[in-house]
Structure 1
Amino acid sequence: MFAGTQVSLYPMTDGFVDVIMSSLDALDPWRDRLRIETDDISTLIVGPPEVLFPALRDLYAKAASTGQHVVLRATLSRGCPGEPDDPICQTAALANPKEPLDQRQQQALAAIAETADKGQIADAQFSLYVMGAGDHMAEIMGCIDFLKQSGTFDRSKNFCTRLTGDAGPVFATLQQAFCQFGPPAGHVTIDLTVSANSPSKR
């Protein structure tokens, strides 16, 4: 399997260079378990979901801790048929396809309940795309039902779902959406935007 993300940070400040460069330092503790490549547009992070999402959380939290208005934009993908399998992505975190949807929902909720707070608020919106064979709408609707029970659900919006809360549970919710819904061997993607310190909320 191949799993990863292309992620970009957009700080709304004259000191955007310092915010971006210092925030990338938050990825250092994860580098031995991820493949990380940064260019002038985005940072590619490749690895298993149970490492990938905490790394994204820490990147976001470090940028948000500056107090500046910062937006993180990411496209996440697993099982893309156009990418070769990568041993670094081996994981046991993906749902067993034989498990009923309600059991997977309960496992996802239990994982969030065990997640520690990060001490930084995250306002996120995302869309889940389940591709390939099977009843993709059943998986998406099952994910939405899970989100409404997650404790991080804010509201449904056109084309996406909004989450709000501490960055720990919010990114844990995203991880569970990515791992528990859609076939383990199938192609699943997430389109994600996370905002911190927006002047619109003041």
Structure 2
Amino acid sequence: MTEQTCGTTNIAGVSFSVYPMCDGFVDIIKDALKEVDTSKVYMKTDDVTTTVRGKLTHVFDVTKATFMHAAKTGEHVAFQATYSLGCPGDSSGDAYMAEDEQTINTEKVKTMKQPVGAKFSLYPLGGGNYMDVIYEQIEAMKQHVTVSSAHYSTRLDGEAVSIFDGLERVFTATVEGGSSHTVMTVSISANSPSHKGGVFNE
């Protein structure tokens, strides 16, 4: 049995995939990745997913920007991600923790209008008073997006930038609420054929 060791426990990471539903999906993915500044994170793409590691704010900055640049093509784009912060984890991304908190993709995407539907599930695996924190953050998110319940998840509808920002706030608040290992799964869909006037059909 391999012994698990903890490095810098505030390293955040995400494993994500972007799926453009069109013939030119390769170019959309490659072009989106080219437009995103990844200099403040560790990033590696293989044939299954893209992995990003570093400070939490930069991990969200990079994934948000990648999705936005892919979705702006107008093609139906799906996004799947698993975010994680805390021990047990890896320590190979420690060097990127020296970066400052200033995000570098925000200005490019903050004014982009992109309605989406999303679902997320949050898993605080290390204790803490997390349920009250989650409910508080979901209530706060209702000021910016439409929130509804779904099986095994919470549904969000609204502008993509607002949804990503809300997810980051929920994740951060859960960590600060005492969870030593926090995981969040996210699914987002943009430009879906089932999207009718800002409301997704059930």
TM-score, length-scaled by structure 1: 0.78
Matches within 5 A, 1:21-60: 21-27=30-36, 29=37, 31-60=38-67
**Residue number among 17, 28, 51 corresponding to 1:8 in the alignment:** 17
Give, in whole Å, the separation in 1 of the partners of 2:110 and 2:75.
Answer: 24
Q: Does 1:130 align with 2:124?
A: yes
Return closer, same or farther for 1:33/1:76 CA change in 2, 3 Å cut-off.
same
Give, in whole Å, the separation in 1 of the partners of 2:33 and 2:100.
Answer: 27
Give, in whole Å, the separation in 2 of the partners of 1:185 and 1:157.
Answer: 24
- Contact map agreement 2:116 2:191 (CA 8 A) in 1: no
- Contact map agreement 1:3 1:89 (CA 8 A) in 2: no
Give, in whole Å, the separation in 1 of the partners of 2:170 and 2:100.
Answer: 15
Please state how far the C-alpha of 1:69 moved relative to its aligned partner. 0.8
Q: What stretches of structure 1 move > 4 A for 4+ residues in a row? A: 90-93
Matches within 5 A, 1:32-181: 32-84=39-91, 86-89=94-97, 116-148=110-142, 150-181=143-174
Please state how far the C-alpha of 1:185 moved relative to its aligned partner. 6.5
Give, in whole Å, the separation in 2 of the partners of 1:89 and 1:142.
Answer: 29
Find the counterpart in structure 2 of residue 201 from structure 1.
195
- Contact map agreement 2:40 2:99 (CA 8 A) in 1: no
Please state how far the C-alpha of 1:178 moved relative to its aligned partner. 1.0
Return closer, same or farther for 1:11/1:41 CA change in 2, 3 Å cut-off.
same
- Contact map agreement 1:46 1:89 (CA 8 A) in 2: no
Q: How many residues align?
A: 178
Give, in whole Å, the separation in 2 of the partners of 1:34 and 1:9.
Answer: 18
For the aligned residue pairs, the C-alpha RMSD in angstroms reads: 2.3
- Contact map agreement 1:74 1:192 (CA 8 A) in 2: yes
Show structure 2 runs of 5+ residues with no match.
Answer: 1-9, 102-108, 197-202
- Contact map agreement 2:130 2:174 (CA 8 A) in 1: no
Show structure 1 runs of 5+ residues with no match.
Answer: 94-114
SS of 2:13's equivalent? strand
SS of 1:181's equivalent? helix
Q: Which structure is higher in helix share?
A: 1
Q: What's the CA shift string for 1:118-171, capped at 9, x where partnerless?
A: 2222321111111113334333333333333x3213311111112222222111
Give, in whole Å, the separation in 2 of the partners of 1:171 and 1:70.
Answer: 15
- Contact map agreement 1:126 1:160 (CA 8 A) in 2: yes
Give, in whole Å, the separation in 2 of the partners of 1:144 and 1:168.
Answer: 16
Please state how far the C-alpha of 1:83 moved relative to its aligned partner. 2.4
